[in-house]
A = this chain, B = another copy of it.
Amino acid sequence: MAKIISAGNGTKRDVIISRSAGLFRAKGYASSSMRELAELLGVEAPSLYNHIGGKGELLQQICTKVALQFNNQMEEVNAGAASSSAKIESLIRFHIWMMMEHYDEVYVSNHDWRYLNEPYLAKFLAQRKIYEGKFIAIINDGIIKGDLKNLNPFVAVLTILSAVRGLEFWQRHKKDIPAVELEEAMVNHLLNGLIK
């Protein structure tokens, strides 16, 4: 029986992937079952396999999409002629925006990428390395031009990317602190520091 695994961008398939991101975020990829996902969608588990190839494909779609969005944004930022610090600020703001607008997907990508099957795991890691490399290059450029302090660029990128990832936790406090205030405070902290 023919299976419609890669059927265009059929709505059903998209809905399944989208709902799986919510499930994986809430319970973790490894702890989520296809039966739970099916129940969320109001069908029996075997029916899912008419639209997707398997559990691993769901994770793969989520992680690939997120990685693509970040890499596209990096290219866009680098296409401009802004200063290093302006580029960094722009990238930080994009991370914050992604965390707010695509919370489930970003969360799952951050947490469960290691369960990716090959060759997708290798591809994902390679893309991430490229992203980080470009980020490091921006910082290096800023140091050379005297715009930025002479800190280890690798550590600076680690610090920045880890910090924005912490916004996962902030999601639970959304009501307590508005997004715009958080964004300004974090950007300011990461660029200008905490000490007066």
Contacts and interface: CB of A to CB of B under 8 A. Distances in A.
A102 interface: no
Given A28-B30, A115-B31, A188-B151, A85 B195 contact: yes
Interface residues of A, number: 45
Interface in A123-177: 139, 146-149, 151-152, 154-156, 158-159, 161-167, 169-170, 173, 176-177
Nearest to A149: B196
Given A30-B28, A152-B182, A170 B158 contact: yes
A63 interface: no
Contact of A192 (B114, B176, B185, B193): B193
Contacts of A28: 28, 30, 114-115
A191 B162 CA distance: 16
A118 interface: no
A166 B156 contact: no
A190 interface: yes
Number of copies: 2
A190 B194 contact: yes
Given A158-B170, A166-B165, A151 B185 contact: yes
A158 to B, nearest CB: 5
A169 B158 contact: yes
A190 B160 CA distance: 10
Contacts of A65: none
A88 to B, nearest CB: 7
Contacts of A158: 163, 166-167, 169-170, 186
Given A161-B166, A166-B161, A195 B186 contact: no
A189 interface: yes
B156 A185 contact: yes
5 contacts: A28-B30, A148-B196, A149-B195, A154-B173, A189-B193
